[in-house]
Structure 1
Amino acid sequence: MVIIVCLFLKGLEREKGCKTVSTKTFVMHKGCQSYNEVEIPYCEGTCNTFTKYSKAAAAMQHSCSCCRETRSSNRSIDLHCLNGDVVPYTYIHVEECGCGHTDCTSAAALPARRRRSSTLV
């Protein structure tokens, strides 16, 4: 019974992990538009991020990563303009996503802002 629960939880973890997702949309630029919808992949999901106390460093240890593209390429399509012109347009096409390390200590250094309360008389 325990094994089934562990496998189920691992499946959920994988499902929420960083992955490539796709959407279809018309590409528009400077008043011109693609003739058909274009499949535009992007990255979505969670990565391992944590903050914990390190006894060795006697400080908080931060580890942050974000879901981002790990492999992409330039793709070109034709955009059709109202005046009849057809112009080439190049966009970044995401091919693969993964967790990439990022800095998460700078935000913690900012002091928390408190909201002032005021009473109207």
Structure 2
Amino acid sequence: MKTATGRLDPEQLAEHLDGRGEAAAAVYVLALARELEVARGELGVLAAFARTIAGLTGNGKSDNNTLRRQAKEALDTLRVTGRCPVSPSRRHSARRAGASSLTRCRHCHAHLRR
């Protein structure tokens, strides 16, 4: 019932539940799995949009700088993955983010801890 990553496979779990006579639970598990995939897709689209805004140049206009700051704050709430979703090499490329000990990836703008 487990996949290579150690997570339960919803399809196999639903089959197992259905085999034990729990058809309603099997349908519920499959519906939750579909909803999770939709939510992950929407999160990916929103994250890509926030990365686009965060990548805008700071031209001194307060509106642009406010958008960039808000986009970077939104990106900071997302889980940082081991691979950069933007870089062609799939590796994060760290850039200093001010006086703190944190750095920000120059491709996806995610905060990386040192």
Q: What is the TM-score normalised by the length of structure 1?
A: 0.23
- TM-score, structure 2 normalization: 0.24
**Larger helix share, 1 or 2:** 2
Query: More strand by proportion, 1 or 2?
Result: 1
Instruction: Pick 1 or 2: higher relative contact order, CA cutoff 8 A, min separation 6.
Output: 1
